[in-house]
Amino acid sequence: DAGVTQSPTHLIKTRGQQVTLRCSPKSGHDTVSWYQQALGQGPQFIFQYYEEEERQRGNFPDRFSGHQFPNYSSELNVNALLLGDSALYLCASSLGFSSYNEQFFGPGTRLTVL
Amino acid sequence: SQQGEEDPQALSIQEGENATMNCSYKTSINNLQWYRQNSGRGLVHLILIRSNEREKHSGRLRVTLDTSKKSSSLLITASRAADTASYFCATDDGGETSGSRLTFGEGTQLTVNP
């Protein structure tokens, strides 16, 4: 049973560019959340997708957008990259739209913006 | 913004000793979760404790929750070198139909010396 997978593992971009990160949820899971973790800090909630809609959003600018596909996989897009966007981006999946359900995290994508 | 605050920020112990980490938070919660992270990789879920629970055990882990003091503690007994990692508490103030949205603290770096 595959857990949460993310691609790519590492990514290097320059300021102003755009990036797309991908996440496949754990088998059977239908809810995907994205988190940003800057070096030395705890993860911060970006947004959550359920039934192909953004259901909740954290305090992140509109440069951060996402999508969920019918197979429950998800993408995180970041436009007009800034140096401060350098971070580990974590995807988490869960079964059902409820805070009572455990979230399973993927290994993350390390984004470096030069 | 970070809701949880872990204490201490760093902890160094000898193998076989117990490790205690504390977490404080600010708002009312639905549940509190503890995660482990090895060297900036993905988060591993350790334990979830609901707001109406006071103590929970899982193997060598014991978690307590005091909602009146808005605090939680994680105890790892008989620590091993493999327990070396960063430990995060995360609070979830969502409900059954509002979706999970975790707010993480900045973590405790635990080092277990062989």
Domain boundaries, chain B: 5-113
Q: How far is CA A11 from CA A8, A56, A114, in A?
A: 7, 26, 11
pLDDT of residue B39: 84
Residue of B30, B48, B99 lying closest to A55 (CB–CB): B99
Average pLDDT over residues A63-89: 98
pLDDT of residue A41: 92
How would CATH label the architecture of B5-113?
A: Sandwich (2.60)
How many other C-beta atoms are found inside a 10 Å radius of the C-beta of residue A40?
11
Contacts B27 to A, Cβ<8 Å: none
Q: Where are chain A's structural domains?
A: 5-113
A-interface mutation test, from B100, B101, B108, B109, most A Cβ less than 10 A away: B100
- Residues A51-78 as b/e (b if ≥16 CB within 10 A, e otherwise) read eeeebbebeeeeebbbebeeebbbbbeb
Residues of chain B with pLDDT under 50: 1-2
Q: Which residue has the higher pLDDT, B4 or A109?
A: A109
| Chain B closest-CA separation from residue A78 CA (Å) | 20
How many other C-beta atoms are found inside a 10 Å radius of the C-beta of residue B24?
16
Contact B31 A100 (CB under 8 A): yes
Yes or no: domain A5-113 corresponds to CATH 3.90.1490.10: no
Average pLDDT over residues A10-33: 97
| Chain A closest-CA separation from residue B10 CA (Å) | 12
| Chain A closest-CA separation from residue B17 CA (Å) | 26
Tokens of A69: 């596909």
pLDDT at position A94 over 60: yes
Average pLDDT over residues A83-109: 90
d(CA A97, CA A53): 12
| Chain B closest-CA separation from residue A79 CA (Å) | 22
Contact B97 A97 (CB under 8 A): yes
Contact A105 B31 (CB under 8 A): no
pLDDT of residue B1: 44
Tokens of B3: 């809701």
Tokens of B37: 């992270």
Non-local (6+) Cβ contacts of A72 within 8 A are A25, A29, A30, A32, A93
Edge-to-edge order in the sheet of strand B19-24? B5-7, B19-24, B71-76, B61-66, B55-58
Q: Are B109 and B89 in contact (CB under 8 A)?
A: no
pLDDT at position A90 over 80: yes
pLDDT of residue A97: 79
A2/B contact by beta carbon, under 8 A: no
